[in-house]
Amino acid sequence: MTGDWFAGDNVLTVIGQGDVLATPLQLVNAYSTFANGGTRYEPRVAIRVTRPADPTQPPATGEHEVIREIEPSVAGRVEFAPDHYDKIFRGLLGVTQEPGGTAYESWQATPTAWPMAGKTGTAEVDNKADTALFVGWGPAAPGVPPQYAISVVVPEAGFGGVVAAPLAIRILEPVSHGRLPPACTVDDMARCDAIQAQATEDSYADAATGTAD
């Protein structure tokens, strides 16, 4: 080994420790690549540009005209041996779906409409509190195309399974049921907040009664 890299560094890196630097976007892009079977896409901040068919109506209501579609751009490809892929997939699925998984209790508290897979993490830095991480996607089922991926990094907030995972799952829970928050202007924020509050209340009511969309 070189003077600043030793055999122990290999071991730490393999288990997700060591000197690894990654942004939330890099993390979610990596897991998205795995989730879809190995195609790495260039990140985009939008999928289409639209405008209201009736400009007198609020942006979140009414019909919209598509001005431009932003096509996905493939940046690369990662090949996986089928048996290796299956083992990793089952492990990531067990994080949220199997008792003992580090995000199992978080998923049980606010379950999404479909199974999720992912990984919790707790980053440690000298003289700082732990940073909580979670990266995941859904639906996570054989033969079902994944739709959403998410990464949450909460600096110096604690363990990933306690802080980051519950936040990520609570974000995706309404999305999985088709309850997307409306897009709002500043002037229309009060109405949108009321809609979101009602959606959240309905979500908790469904969970309490065991119903689903």
**pLDDT tens digits in sequence order for the chain, 213 residues long:** 557 888 888 888 887 778 788 899 999 999 999 999 999 999 998 888 888 888 777 666 668 889 999 999 999 999 999 999 999 999 999 999 999 999 999 999 999 999 999 999 998 888 999 999 999 999 999 889 999 999 999 999 999 999 999 999 999 999 999 887 666 667 777 777 777 677 666 655 655 554 444
| Domain map (residue ranges) of the chain | 21-209
- Give the Cα separation of 176 and 205 in Å (integer): 16
111 close to 174: Cβ distance less than 8 angstroms = no
Nearest CA-CA partner of 102 in 110, 90, 94? 94
Alpha helices, DSSP H only, in 98-185?
104-109, 165-176
Q: At what angle do helices 165-176 and 189-209 cross, to 10 degrees?
A: 100
- Give the Cα separation of 28 and 168 in Å (integer): 12
The DSSP bridge pattern shows strands 131-138 and 148-154 to be antiparallel
